[in-house]
Structure 1
Amino acid sequence: METHRDFAWFRARAPIAAIVAGCVAVVGIAITGAAKPLPGLDITQSGHWIYNSVLGSAFHVDGSGKYADARVPVPGADPGSPVAQGPTQGYVLPPSSVIEFGKSTLSVEKTTPSPSNEWPVAVETKGGPYGVYRQAGVVIRLGEASAKITVGGRLGDPVATADGRLWLHRIDDGLLCELAPGADRVSCPIVLPGRHKGSLALTADGPVFVDNDDDTVRRVSPAGLGEPVRLGVDVPETAVVAANEVDGRLAILDRQGARLHLVDPTGRSTGPVSVALPPGDYVGLASSGSAVALVDKGNHTLSTYDGAGRKRDSRPIPGGAEHPPVRGQDSRVYVDGADGAHVLVMDPGGAVNEVAVTGEKKPAETPAPSGNSGDKPASEPPPREPADRPIAPVQPKPQPKPQPKTTPAVVPASPPGAPRSVTASAGDGAATVRWGAAPANGATLTGYRITWAGGEKTVGGGVRTTTITGLANGTAYTFTVSATNRAGTGPSATSASVTPAAALRPPGAPAGLNVLIKTGDTDANVTWRAAATNGSPVTAYHVSWRRADGSGAGSASLPGSATARLIADIGIEQPITVSVVAENAAGRGPAATVTKAKGDTPADRSIVISRGADTTADRCEPPACGLIHIVMSGFTAGKTVSITCTTDDGVHGGKSVKIGPDGKLTVEAFPQGTIGRNVWISSEGVQSNKLTWK
């Protein structure tokens, strides 16, 4: 990671020939592991980025060297903003925006609005990085393949597997969802039993779910949940679980009980290890794989423990302890001071060092001995140097002094060449245009001009991408880009045609969700109105239900045309909660949820009768003879019920009928011909009005 910055400084000061020679030398040495890779050659990301709001800059911290080795001016971001890094770009993530900077240019290149005004969780992994906005239920993938993915509902802390798959916990409806690398939507194949609360974590076998409700852990895979394994400790809802295991154990922080539990997720060990913690306000923990870091906000302290619960180190956190620790891809754990001017670095074994982030290059401190179990630091940090010097750039080795040569004739500047590789991608009423740098031809580029049918736009000479707004959806556009320098404007290059289209969004919540439970029934009739399609037809409705105690849980997926579901034999001795979620091509939308108990009275159901059509029956002729016109309302949709006809002389007859999908039925039956006799209909304890036959 640090080589990006060192090479940037080197490139700014060295002749081209020296750079080429250095590249050859470094590539030769890199095969043996004796040199750092050049920018663009690294495969994994190392180190850690922190935002210092006082200096208005993002700094890169070299975790192995224990110093800040690069600085990017990023004025105006909120204090404490997390920073995520990808292979070539970095991203400062305050609540209101996403600020993108180049890791080789060390400058801000783009700022875009965030999808939700909240602090995101930054996840650095293959296919990412990602920003996870937990309250809004939205994930953004950063980088060239950027995307906004709506997950739906509030989210727990995410975890990412080694292959770059992101696992997310939808808290409100108890679903576990998977986002594959490069995917633009999530799959939610797992329904937690009874919508149990808990946390996701990673073990050597893959993701697991730590269940707060029954104190178990289960393996997670697209095929479903594994068998529960008892943890042997109480895991309250306020517990915090480290995302990665430590020496094969899960680290669980019981914040209220001030205890650190280290448990075997396989259940094969002798039992959990529990460590009593001093009183404090613990804000989080993270694991390096062989040690765990624990932040005490109340005492401004970082403490580390190994997988057996032995204390390895303890250090004060300069600048205040507001942020939980984070695990870097280099298997180190980083703890940011609240002032953004200090970082504590925990090496894989648990030793802690402090790095000042003040614009100066600071040598590494002596790491703490691995056996230190006291509360004092293993070694005192060396005195800080003054913070008024910038980080010293890495200087190239002296090159041999070139021999005097004849000065070539000065070639006059000419207009630039055509921009390279002009491309465009369509959006909703917009398009993003990208291009490669145009040949400068002896003079600095001063601008690029972008034209299209109906408009034009000019940007600076250092810009390589711009977004054109105000376009008509459904209309094809091509974009032409030309470059300008002091000598004039050069030839243009044109993109392929693209057509803006309205953005597809997941559907809205189903409207008018209602659960009807009748006295004497064991069924519940669920009805709703169609959800807003948001640009793509609803393809399915997903219905889930459970009793108040979590039992009787079930789910069903119905076609997009459905507006009702009968839940048979759910039982009504306790309230039931039902949720309905609509899905379209863009994913699943928010859930509509209702809780309903028994108590609807038979008055909700009604039977109204009147004289119907004339008919002929045994010893019954018109005009006296006719059918009873029966209208039934409020009954269980789709249910077959018995109706009975009664007169002043007794039961006249009966038959079975099937209630319609709206809970209603209209039918004519039971011929009558006795003038002046009273007649009425009853079904399931509901009696109609009495009709005097005329």
Structure 2
Amino acid sequence: MTRIARAIRRPVAWWTVAALILGTFVGLSALGRGAPAVAFQQAGHWVYNATVGAVFRVDGGGKSVDAEVRGVQTEAGSQVVQGSTNGYVVRADGVIVFGKSDLTVKSTVRIGIPEEPIGIEAQGGPYLVYRQHGQIVRLGDQQQTVTVGSVVSSAIATADGALWLRNAEQFCQLAPGSTTLACQLPSQAGDAGALLSVAGKPAFANLSKRTLTPLTGDTAGRAMPMDISGSLPTTSVVAQADVNGRIPILAGQRLLLVDAAGAKKAESIDLPPGRYDAVAATGAAVAVLDTDKRVVRTFAPDGKPLHTHELSKKKGDRKSGPRVTAGQDGRIYIDDETGEVVTVVDGDGTVSEVDVDGGNKPVSPSATQKPTASPSTPTPSSTPTSTPTSTPPTHKPILPPIHVTVGPEKPRRTETVEPRTTERKPGKTETTRPTTPPTPPTPPPTKPTAKPTSKPTSKPTSPPPAAPGAPGSVSAKAGDGKATVSWAAARANGAAITGYKVSFRVAPGTFVVGLPESGAVTVSGSTRSHSFGQLLNGGGYIFTVAATNRVGTGPSVDSKVTSINGSAEPPSAPTKVSAATKADGSVTVSWTSPSSSDYTMSGYTVLGSDGSQTKAQVYQSSISLKPALGKGVSYRVTATNSAGTSPRSAATRTVYPYSPAAAPKVTATPGKGSVSLTWTAPNLNGGQLVHYVVSAAGQADRTVTTTSTRYTGLSALQLTFTVKAITRERNNSSSPTATGAAGSTTAAPASAAPALPPVSTSAARVRRTSRRRKDAQW
């Protein structure tokens, strides 16, 4: 058993999954293409069904739906991620939180980053990676945001729960539970490639150099060559994990299976013409998706074709195509555009379809199934039999199964026949080996106790009518003081739709005076649009549509927040604008947005008195700049929305950027038992001198404000003296201090002079010597 095969059977913390979000991932030739995420997915696969307005859990093993959460209203095609206790439906402006145990919606959390993220399920997560904005949002009881600082080209999670990212310059690691990125490995800037997990460990597939580099801790391993023949476009798609030591790569119309150890030549499989956008590994198989023809093809690790399966016809208006997720259970899940059908690829490459409405529509016998009797075929029996009663499931499906009795009277057995037909669609290709044909019914007895009847003993019954499903594609087109709401028809669920209730309400942060804050109208069941007037130009509104039939009213669906254009005005100037220096020469400019409810806000511009102009994103409230050192500069900030640019804010105080001073040139002059030091004033790099710190071995540090000092009482030993300048921002005594570079020199004091005799003794000797000389003269 290979390491990957063993990993598939480990607990949840060791499952490695790849979430390939088609359409949300944009291939960059400079950075390569990779599957956008590797996730540690919890048990089960969750999908949002926009038609029903509910979230469903798909059991890949049983090919069925075993849980659902009602009352979820968001856009079709929204992805769903999950943590240990909650699930999260990702919508355009945030997430809808639901409990996995009580199956109820808990709250809606606004995020406000204008980009569809990559969802990654990992220990300490789940995470939403906003690639273009360089932001990571950790979902949970306490939502946290981690700033990457540049565009993220690819992201994966490894078996230890670490999140790995590649930006323009580095590989970064986010440890489980941490909010600090460790970016220590260079990312071979300019090379096309993608991150992936090989045997549960991070690695980088360099498409430009055709190498595979393992990433381990603080270092990168040796780059191993990938033995690939023929062309390898820099836009090739790299799978997020290997399968049996082979790395799947989509290279145009070829599927490459690259030996991760570099010991064997890569297998090359020519694919039929099509547009192949996704590749994923599961169990002992590789799956590729042709989004143009809506066909899934599976292959063995050695390149042998396994199965070909045609997806259901496209529904809804999601332009990016199906969403592919590799699950922890060794299966691949493919959600259609509306979430109504999930295609399951098993570990051996077989394919099945599950209707995400409580029904089951297998197209592959990989799931064990019993033969079923056609509802139109009578079942011989001596006497009519009643339909046995079954215990309802814990989570009630939308369309309950129908129970009929088949076979001879004794022994009786029941079969479950789903409401939808199980016949193959025209043109579909059978994806697996055929199952054993069903056993023919036992002929009736020679002498029946009752006259045989040509009617079946139990007729299939239709499910009772229910309230309608959710309307699709709810959107609003704004005009001058008005908006037109449009939608797609809702599912009738057994009773004709009699009307739609269309309503509006002001979005949070919009305040109106003299105009209605909300309103509603009911239109006929054949109507697909309605216009509202008396709306505030520049205000934000949410429009809601719900369908009604004789049973009741179905789930309502909200539009995105719509800003009424008309004569909208530019925003007010940002407030609380400030500038602060740091000891590294940078200046941080901060501000407060003029409005938290202006959904048309597009960004900010920071204007410096030195003539600089710096753009900031709409989600930012501060920015770090590097102006010229020592030159005074102040800043103003403007905000921009769909109507224009605000006036300039009030100016910040004048700041003087500075960095640590250069090293002074130190000169030492020895004296008898002393050393005198002098030094030149260094380049202060824009700072203002606070003092100098002078140090010598065995001596206490001195703080001086001049350029000289003298050490006395020294022994005849050579000493090293150092001098550093301490600076701060000009005219700002509260600014942080910067310690400059050290200037140093070595010196030893001169030898000490011999001691003189006492004064009294010397004077006496001088007097006696003087008398002797005088006596000699006489």
Q: Relative contact order, CA 8 A, sep 6+: which one is greater?
A: 2
Give the TM-score taking structure 1 as reference length: 0.48
Larger Rg: 2
